[in-house]
Chains A and B, each alone.
Chain A
Amino acid sequence: MKNFTLPSEELMGSGHLGCQGCGGALAMRYALKAAGDNTIVVIPACCWTIIAGPFPYTSLKVPVLHTAFETAAVAASGVRAALDIQGNTETTVLAWAGDGGTFDIGLQSLSGAAERNENIIYICYDNEAYMNTGIQRSGATPYLAWTTTTPEKTPKAEPKKDIMAIMIAHRIPYAATATIAHPDDFIRKVQKAKSIYGTKFLHVLAPCPPGWKAPSEWAVKLSRLAVQTRVFPLYEVEDGERYILNEPKEDRALPVSEYLKLQGRFSHLTEKDIQAIQDLIDKRWQRLMRQVRESS
């Protein structure tokens, strides 16, 4: 009795350099299963620079272009253009960037690509900090989280940037969230993205056990909890207007504390802090619900 229907093709090889329980590695595994072997991956500076393996090796069975930190979307645009002009419109070009490379330094080039509606899939695997360089805050780091640049005494004072809203505002044909705890949903979304022309954006929550100070075996569980607590709802937006909610479907969510308490990066939180986070999440959820309602 299968719980999931994952394509069996394995395009991410073993021996890669992801940490134990790396959510980003698992995300790549799913993404490539969905995208298939007719795919070229563009990777800017991020943990995946390392995970993919050093010269002269590669852990992926598809072509990989390593590129500068802020250039994932545009380097992918270049690859796309080159393929197109050579008459190859079939190959999928997949930009694969971290949250730093997406929310922060790469936002400009991503915005450019989205505005031009480049025919690429852009996947941001979001581990909520600059992990490659040792857990520094990024625009994706959640409110009140610890990082090495937001120490416990002054945890991150700002809420996480709403990258989905930014991408949706570009009115790209497809934007969606996904997690490693929902492989079927993830794969369906990549495949859907593949079938659409234009810029497709996937925001994937990819827990980082060392960076989140959580045991490696909880990588998937944390993703699942993020959804169940509405910290990270799974939804899709077509053409910047049609909102579709995938998960969680339950009328009542788990309290956010269920998610926070498993992670060392939140261990300094007080009851009041947790309530503040809960309020933030409730508000965002209500907005999402409104958007889903209004667009249906």
Chain B
Amino acid sequence: MTPTLTGTKKVVTGNHAVSYGAMLARVQVISAYPITPQTQIVELLSEMCANGTLRAKFIKVESEHSAMAALIGAASAGARAFTATSAHGLALMHEMLHWAAGARLPIVMADVNRAMGPPWSVWTDQNDSLSQRDVGWMQVYCESNQEVLDTVIQAYKVAEKVLMPAMLVLDAFVLSHTAEQIEIPNQTLVDQYLPPYQPVYKLDVNDPRSFGALAPPDVYMELRYKMHQAMEEALTEWAKADEEYYELFGRRYGLIEPYRADDADLILVTSGTVTSTAREVIDELRAEGRRVGLLKIRVLRPFPAQLVREALADAQKVAVIDRNISFGMGGIFAQEIKSALYNTHDRPPIFGFVAGLGGRDITPKVIQEIIEYTESHDEPEDLIWVGVKR
């Protein structure tokens, strides 16, 4: 179906793309706390609230921990809730991230990937979001400003369906502060795509119930089982949501996105903005006739293991670029992919590269070196530090 109601074109930064996404999703309660490089998101949202473009309550809390707590309250009372944060803010939220997920609240949050201190850094890497990998939030890593906006809307669609919170992740500065022209979708269409949030259970004086009471061992595990079931279900729901979005808006992203990978001997795996750089490198190498391809991991949680297996099934070698490090082990995406493939036959060797920590540029040259290193080595290595001055 071709869109009948067109959106408007606008040049916006990644951060503002988040704000527009939230606006179009008609979020009702926002609660946030300033932190670079996220701050612009909520600044614009404050303005939208102030000038009436967005009918929402903005609770200007005194910490990120409180921001999430406020949203837990709001979502429990049936409101569509939104926040954005980064690095230390996200870390401070940690307890409440568990709470939101355990309470099955479809809160959506943008995390602008920023390196953790000390030493202080405001530049990008993924350690902040990946530290929250196991709290029960969906995680979606975005590549472009358009994707950022679209993902906010899609995230609510899925989150409210499966009752799990969702975090969309965008790289600091590279995306957050970089302006691109994007399409701001038509509100009527967005409303059609995303109807108001209608929870089955909410804080309601006409149906008084308690939420989050003590769960003894005879029931706790079942509740956790159900969370995992919801995540499994979310795999399908992301695909469906993406497809439906495509029908209305003409854009889709997939849970993963293979790029020129069909006949590739070597597949490079990336996430976030590195993907865009990698696309160019792949195009250049393809022009040279080299059989290299790319796999973008967009949805990390729930992890689309089956899709990843299929995408990498025919590769001879896999190189994973991680803009993060699990100290004492290696890159986290690499681990995820390795564990997804471990139980398959004929799995390709996987090379794990850690690059670009703390905002160091991952240039086309760096990516090229990674590809070359992989091509030139037969034995896979778990952790290859890229560009460390040694």
- Separation of A115 and B28 alpha carbons in the complex (Å): 22
- B209: Cβ under 8 A from any A Cβ: yes
- Say whether A52 contacts B79, CB under 8 Å: no
Residue-wise, chain A 45-77 has the 8 Å CB interface mask toward B (1 for contact) of 000011011111110111111111011001111
- A145: Cβ under 8 A from any B Cβ: no
- Separation of A137 and B206 alpha carbons in the complex (Å): 39
- Say whether A63 contacts B73, CB under 8 Å: no
Residue-wise, chain B 58-78 has the 8 Å CB interface mask toward A (1 for contact) of 011111011001111111111
- B167: Cβ under 8 A from any A Cβ: no
- Say whether B31 contacts A78, CB under 8 Å: yes
- Chain B residues with CB under 8 Å of A111's CB are 62
- B193: Cβ under 8 A from any A Cβ: no
Partner of A42, one of B56, B73, B216: B73
- Say whether B28 contacts A75, CB under 8 Å: no
Residue-wise, chain B 140-175 has the 8 Å CB interface mask toward A (1 for contact) of 000000000000000000000000000000000000
- B211: Cβ under 8 A from any A Cβ: yes
- Separation of A79 and B71 alpha carbons in the complex (Å): 8
- Say whether A82 contacts B79, CB under 8 Å: yes
Partner of A40, one of B60, B63, B205, B223: B205
B220: nearest chain-A partner, CB-CB: A55
User: Which of A66, A80, A81, A83 has the most B CB atoms < 10 Å from its CB?
Assistant: A81
Interface residues on B, range: 35 or more
- Chain B residues with CB under 8 Å of A84's CB are 57
- Separation of A65 and B69 alpha carbons in the complex (Å): 11
- Say whether A91 contacts B205, CB under 8 Å: yes
Residue-wise, chain A 76-101 has the 8 Å CB interface mask toward B (1 for contact) of 11111111111000010000000000
Residue-wise, chain B 190-226 has the 8 Å CB interface mask toward A (1 for contact) of 0000000000000111011111111110010001000
- Separation of A68 and B68 alpha carbons in the complex (Å): 11
- Say whether B77 contacts A109, CB under 8 Å: no
Partner of B210, one of A38, A58, A82, A86: A58
- Say whether B73 contacts A77, CB under 8 Å: yes
Residue-wise, chain B 78-94 has the 8 Å CB interface mask toward A (1 for contact) of 11010000000000000
- Say whether A71 contacts B213, CB under 8 Å: no
- Say whether A53 contacts B213, CB under 8 Å: yes
User: Which of A50, A67, A108, A111 has the most B CB atoms < 10 Å from its CB?
Assistant: A67
- B295: Cβ under 8 A from any A Cβ: no
- Chain B residues with CB under 8 Å of A115's CB are 62
Partner of B208, one of A53, A54, A57, A61: A61
Residue-wise, chain B 102-113 has the 8 Å CB interface mask toward A (1 for contact) of 000000000000
- A191: Cβ under 8 A from any B Cβ: no
- A215: Cβ under 8 A from any B Cβ: no
- Say whether A79 contacts B213, CB under 8 Å: no
- Say whether A81 contacts B29, CB under 8 Å: yes
- Say whether B213 contacts A112, CB under 8 Å: no
- Chain A residues with CB under 8 Å of B208's CB are 37, 58, 60-64
- Separation of A62 and B206 alpha carbons in the complex (Å): 9
Q: Give the residues from 361 to 381 in chain B that come closer than 8 angstroms, CB to CB, to chain A.
A: none
- A136: Cβ under 8 A from any B Cβ: no
Given A68-B95, A78-B74, A85–B59 Cβ distance below 8 Å?
no
- Say whether A112 contacts B210, CB under 8 Å: no
- B385: Cβ under 8 A from any A Cβ: no
- Say whether A74 contacts B205, CB under 8 Å: no
A115: nearest chain-B partner, CB-CB: B62
- Say whether A53 contacts B210, CB under 8 Å: yes
- Separation of A97 and B75 alpha carbons in the complex (Å): 20
Given A65-B203, A71-B65, A108-B63, A81–B215 Cβ distance below 8 Å?
no
Residue-wise, chain B 22-38 has the 8 Å CB interface mask toward A (1 for contact) of 00000011010000000
Nearest Cβ distance between residue B72 and chain A, in whole angstroms? 6
- Chain B residues with CB under 8 Å of A38's CB are 205
- Separation of A143 and B96 alpha carbons in the complex (Å): 34
Partner of B62, one of A55, A68, A86, A112: A112
Nearest Cβ distance between residue B221 and chain A, in whole angstroms? 13
- Separation of A65 and B210 alpha carbons in the complex (Å): 6
- Say whether B63 contacts A109, CB under 8 Å: yes
A92: nearest chain-B partner, CB-CB: B205
- Say whether A74 contacts B69, CB under 8 Å: yes
- Say whether B213 contacts A39, CB under 8 Å: no
- Chain B residues with CB under 8 Å of A63's CB are 203-205, 207-211
- Chain A residues with CB under 8 Å of B57's CB are 81-82, 84-85
- Separation of A52 and B208 alpha carbons in the complex (Å): 13
- Say whether B29 contacts A37, CB under 8 Å: no
Q: Give the residues from 213 to 246 in chain B that come closer than 8 angstroms, CB to CB, to chain A.
A: 213-216, 219, 223
- Say whether A55 contacts B79, CB under 8 Å: no
- Separation of A235 and B345 alpha carbons in the complex (Å): 75
- Chain B residues with CB under 8 Å of A37's CB are 205, 208
- Chain A residues with CB under 8 Å of B212's CB are 65-67
- Say whether B69 contacts A75, CB under 8 Å: yes
- Say whether B79 contacts A109, CB under 8 Å: no
- Separation of A40 and B66 alpha carbons in the complex (Å): 19
B215: nearest chain-A partner, CB-CB: A55
- Say whether B205 contacts A52, CB under 8 Å: no
- Say whether B96 contacts A78, CB under 8 Å: no
- Say whether A79 contacts B69, CB under 8 Å: no
- Chain B residues with CB under 8 Å of A71's CB are 65-66, 69, 72, 96
Nearest Cβ distance between residue B42 and chain A, in whole angstroms? 15
User: Which of A60, A62, A65, A74 has the most B CB atoms < 10 Å from its CB?
Assistant: A74
Partner of B214, one of A49, A61, A112: A49
Nearest Cβ distance between residue B52 and chain A, in whole angstroms? 13
Nearest Cβ distance between residue A191 and chain B, in whole angstroms? 17
Nearest Cβ distance between residue B256 and chain A, in whole angstroms? 34
Partner of A54, one of B60, B66, B74, B216: B216
Instruction: Given contacts A67-B99, A111-B62, list 7 more A-B pairs with CB under 8 A.
Output: A54-B214, A55-B219, A63-B211, A78-B75, A81-B31, A81-B74, A112-B62
Name 15 interchain pairs, CB-CB below 8 A, sorted by A.
A56-B219, A58-B213, A60-B210, A63-B207, A63-B211, A65-B203, A65-B212, A67-B69, A76-B73, A78-B70, A78-B72, A81-B57, A82-B29, A82-B81, A86-B78
Q: Which 3 A-B pairs have the closest CB atoms?
A: A78-B73, A112-B62, A82-B79
